[in-house]
A and B are shown apart, each in its own frame.
Chain A
Amino acid sequence: MVGVMLFALLSILLLDLFWIQMVQGNVLEETRNRQSVRQVRLPAARGTIYDRNGEVLADVRPAFDLVVYLGEFRDQFRKEFKEKKKEFLTQLKQKDRKLTDKETEKLNLASRGHVIRKVLRKAGPLLEASYAVTDEEVTKHYVNQPSLPFTLAGNLNRAMLASFCERSGNVPGVDLQVRGVRNYPHGKLAAHILGYVGRETRPPDLNQEIRYYYFLPDIIGREGIEAAFDRELRGTAGGKSIVVDAMGHKRRELNVDLPVPGKDVYLTLDRRYQEIMERAMQGHVGAAVLMDPRNGDILAMASEPSFDPNYFINGIDAVLWRELADDPRKPLYHRAIAAGYAPGSVFKLVVALAGLRKGSINEQSVVKPMRNYPVGNRLFGDPQAEATPNMLVDMRTALKVSSNTFFYHYGILTGPDAILDMCNAFFLGERTDIPLFAQRRRADDDAFELVSQERAGSLPKIARRKGFNWGDGDTANLSIGQGELAVTPLQMACMTAAIANGGKLFWPRLVDRIARSSPSTDRPSEVEVVKVKLRDPPVLPVSVAHLDMVRAAMLACVQEDGGTGRRARVEGLSIAGKTGTAQYEKRENGVKVGIGHRAWFVSFAPYDHPRFAMAIVIEEGEAGGRIAAPVAEQIYSGILALESTPGSLPAQPVKVAVQGGGA
């Protein structure tokens, strides 16, 4: 009987073994895997942004962090807590009292912080001096994310790195982690175009196929090219499985899935031109755009004041952010594409072309400048009337000296419809589709979406409100680029380029090509060139003769004495241009406080075979000729000096190949 019982019990054992090993084996193996295999995500290296000559504008540099896994200090925390508790109670002379919850929590907080600070001390005096670890940080991390490494000291510098490496053997539980960090070697240069990056704040998608034990978030583009080409630059994250032992130490790696690095973006910008332009713009508030009229390439585009995108890399600190955000000069604002200004007298180019096309202006059209030009019962001023006293002014002179009277008169003759037709021909009031975007958080679902940073500007609507009729006064106002008219500096540059190149309208091109750099060979692969594209309709509806008249007037404006743009003159370069001074109502808190001015200068050069078209706007510049034209002079002479230096011509040949029209 005893024997039977023994074997019955043994069979129970066997049955249970069968159940566990054969039936539940797979389930248990999975559970076991979960506890000892950890998925770690490997973020891809972000692609580089180059200028047209292959000079680096944004790359990735390694940053070193000192991290600890707090879970490994559990026993030390406990020990420290016991000591702290003893000390605490002895101090109170109540040795046998139990701690309250609050006291326990407080002591826990203190002992965890103490232990981790001790680790930091062991890592070296240099590190201890530079980094502070608070009790709260440690406990918060310990409670909320025990499986993630806790950053003891982020972004070590060289000296710290050296001092840590010297004693790395003596600091148990501490790990050095390398991570790629966005780096803008030229600091503020082209900051608005490049944009900036941030750390992805979205929590990892819990529904995704692989559950990551350690999810290192990607760097994502927040603004500018970084945002617009985020998908290309970001690459594809890889992953690996790490087998850890019971203590959490890594033992071996399984199936490493290497990340695919991001592609590189080559801009049409020329770093040298950009530098020249930003130097010239320094101290002003405004924007400038330099284009190649032969293909629409943006060679330089500046917006002042600027900011250093390097500040944003590790999450900008609150003080600096407030400083940037609260600055009345708005350094984060990309004026070259997002600011709508009244074009002022620069708009006279459009009116002249409209008039020539309609026939209301011809070579014989003249007017006698008046200090005040009456339209209906209103007087319209012409501050340039004294510049040409007792003289009949034709279109050429009118553009040269920027005569308002001529354009009041002939603008009204031409009529608002013809002027607006010409605006449409230049695609004013429409976006140029420049690929600069910003990531904005949607209000309703907190998701990010990409929003174009560009402004379309606006054109006046002739048939607008009920009970209000468009009058000649409005036309006169429109003729000198005032009123309900807003254009961006980029649009003005496009307009100037079209006038310069004989009427061809290009989409502005900011990105030249996207390529994958291969680590083995120097030659990039998968090159994807962004095509040069004409807009639709691709040419201005203006005859070559008419266009040449306007171009000649622009040349006179700069090259002849008495021209308003004479201050832009540069020895050895035939520059043609047009100045503008736009008035606007200065408002403070919605109350009109006076009249402000914005100085414009649009230009192209050289006159015969234009390679450059440029638009400059300067806020609070009282006259385009006096403020904006000298800036253009600085830029042109800088470029000229650069070109006369041997071997410094653009390495990248200018592409003139054109793909047929169409949007």
Chain B
Amino acid sequence: MILRQKWELLKEMSWWPILAAMVLLIVGVVFIYSAGFQGHEQPVSEFYLKQLRWICIGVPLGICAMLIDYRVVARMSWLWYGITIFLLVLVLVKGQTEHGVRGGAGSRSWLGIGGMGGQPSEPAKIAMALLMSWFLDKYYLSHRQRRSFIGSILIMSVPLLLVLKQPDVGSALVFPMMALTTMFVARQPMKYFIGIFAMGVVLAGLLVVDVYFFSRWLESPQKQAQEEYQGVLPLKNYHRERILSNIKPELFSAREKAVWNRTQSILAVGSGGFSGKGWLKGDQNVLGYLPKSVAPDDFIFSVIAEELGFLGSLLVVGCYTIILNFGVKVAFTARDPLGSFLAVGLVMLLFAHVFINIGMTIGLIPIIGIPLPFLSYGGSFMLSTCVVLGLLQSIYIHRKLYW
């Protein structure tokens, strides 16, 4: 009975985003191989095999997420949220700086038990989206606007602050993008957004001032005397360097990491030209100018863009457009506000990753360690993106059920 019901539901599934995701997964494995390639004399790093393993786990997980009614999942959102918050706290206490490829500048974001492990920040994003949409659904069109607003801000803030503490700025950026968009769609009052916007402006202003004085400090005699820089914001110096290297790269020597990754990535993407240099033939990647430590995950797009050229970029961006377009469609066609909100949150999750990652590889925004969905090497993120797509499908296939 239940199987039959599910089978009927499956017919409703949208194939396009699945196809796009599959293309991306295959491209991802192929180019993770390339990113691990260091000439014929040396063995290829085994990341591509591990990635295959993660895909084998991730795809069934995504199918599960698809088949389960999202409302059931959302009803248990406090549980998910609680678990991920617990894990985020645990990672701060017992976590390790990542081993393997993903090496954010010494952040404690990786939690391992035995041989397994991952980054709790990835499921935390989904859990937050679930709880947020469940919460906003409760208060949708209610009069207790302030309460719903403060509540959702709190829901966003807890994981956000925990992730910032690691510190993982990339992931931390994703939370507000998801939350604010969901809140916006959930018709939270405009005045609050204006307030947030104002706060954002003030924060950005402070950031500008901070970085400006940092640039002055870099050239000042105090730097030579190795005095600490007293900033306005509680940022680490490498954050400032990354931001500054995007604006004034001439302040840094080319070998400095902040500038190096950025310039090398731009060179990789740019030198790809129209049709690229061919698989395993991207010198930026093979010769290690694009550091081998980040090429398979955060800079996988640079590898693809170098070896497949603009055509490859079009393919990748096209696939994401299909998936995101599907997500937006899901948000519009969801049978209830809960589904709609959840879809918006999840779409924003994917979008934030895609935009920030590709943006940083082409120098549009500062270097922030953040993976690219379906393409980048990484276990927990692979699983969570599969689940995201599964949840979106779940909302989609349940759109016509009215009970």
Contact = CB atoms under 8 A, between A and B. Distances in A.
A6 B362 contact: no
A13 B372 CA distance: 14
B180 to A, nearest CB: 10
Contacts of A24: 270
Interface string B244-287: 00000000000100000000001111111110000000011011
Contacts of A35: 267, 289
Given A17-B317, A251-B39, A28 B270 contact: yes
Nearest to B313: A17
Interface in A193-250: 243-247
Given A10-B320, A25-B271, A251-B287, A2 B305 contact: no
B310 A21 contact: yes
Contacts of A12: 364
B321 interface: yes
Interface of B: 39, 181, 184-185, 224-227, 255, 266-274, 283-284, 286-289, 291, 305, 309-310, 313-314, 317, 320-321, 324-325, 328, 331-332, 344, 347, 351, 354-355, 358-359, 362, 364
Contacts of B309: 21
Interface string A1-37: 0110011011011101110111011111101100110
B321 A21 contact: no
A374 B332 CA distance: 136
A31 B273 CA distance: 13
A322 interface: no
B271 A245 contact: no
Contacts of A16: 362, 364
B226 A13 contact: no
- A: contact size bracket: 35 or more
22 contacts: A2-B185, A2-B344, A3-B332, A7-B321, A13-B362, A17-B310, A20-B362, A21-B310, A21-B313, A22-B274, A25-B272, A27-B270, A28-B269, A29-B273, A35-B267, A36-B283, A98-B226, A244-B287, A245-B287, A245-B289, A246-B289, A247-B288
Given A22-B273, A98-B225, A247-B288, A6 B305 contact: no
Given A10-B317, A10-B355, A31-B267, A18 B310 contact: yes
Contacts of B362: 13, 16-17, 20
A13 B270 CA distance: 14
Contacts of A7: 321, 324-325
B395 to A, nearest CB: 15
Nearest to B225: A98
B289 A6 contact: no
Interface string A455-478: 000000000000000000000000
For the complex of A and B, 10 pairs with smallest distance between CB atoms:
A28-B270, A245-B287, A246-B288, A25-B273, A3-B328, A29-B271, A21-B310, A32-B271, A32-B267, A17-B313
Interface string A241-275: 00111110001000000000000000000000000
A243 B287 contact: yes
B356 to A, nearest CB: 10
Contacts of B271: 25, 28-29, 32
Contact of A2 (B184, B227, B267, B289): B184
B304 to A, nearest CB: 11
A28 B269 CA distance: 9
A618 B347 CA distance: 103
Interface in A388-428: none
Given A12-B364, A98-B225, A246-B288, 12 more contacts: A2-B328, A3-B332, A13-B359, A14-B317, A22-B310, A25-B270, A29-B270, A32-B268, A245-B286, A245-B288, A245-B289, A247-B288
Interface in A492-550: none
A590 B54 CA distance: 97
Given A10-B317, A13-B364, A32 B284 contact: yes
A274 B259 CA distance: 67
A246 B324 CA distance: 37
A101 interface: yes
A9 B289 contact: no
Contacts of B267: 28, 31-32, 35
B37 to A, nearest CB: 12
Contacts of A28: 266-267, 269-271
Contact of A36 (B227, B289, B344): B289
A187 B331 CA distance: 92
Contacts, number: 111
B328 A6 contact: yes
A243 B277 CA distance: 16
Contact of B355 (A9, A27, A246): A9
Contacts of A20: 266, 269-270, 362
B274 A25 contact: yes
Contacts of B284: 32, 36
B132 to A, nearest CB: 15
A247 B325 CA distance: 43
Nearest to A10: B321
A14 B310 CA distance: 9
Given A6-B347, A10-B320, A13-B364, A21 B270 contact: yes
A408 B284 CA distance: 90
Contacts of B266: 20, 28
Contacts of B270: 20-21, 24-25, 27-29, 32
Interface string A132-150: 0000000000000000000
Contacts of A27: 270
A246 to B, nearest CB: 4
Contacts of B359: 13
Given A98-B225, A243-B287, A13 B317 contact: yes
Nearest to B290: A246
Contacts of B272: 21, 25
Contacts of A21: 269-270, 272-274, 305, 309-310, 313
A464 to B, nearest CB: 72
Contacts of B317: 10, 13-14, 17
Nearest to A24: B270
A17 B287 contact: no
Contacts of B255: 74
A29 B271 CA distance: 4
Contacts of B320: 10
A35 B310 CA distance: 22
A290 B227 CA distance: 79
A245 B295 CA distance: 15
Nearest to B185: A2
A101 to B, nearest CB: 6
B351 A101 contact: no
A28 B274 CA distance: 13
Contacts of B273: 21-22, 25-26, 29
A243 B355 contact: no
Contacts of A10: 317, 320-321, 324, 354-355
Contacts of B286: 245
A325 to B, nearest CB: 46
A26 B270 CA distance: 8
A36 B290 CA distance: 12
Contacts of B274: 21-22, 25
Contacts of A243: 283, 287
Nearest to B305: A21
B261 to A, nearest CB: 11
Contacts of A247: 288
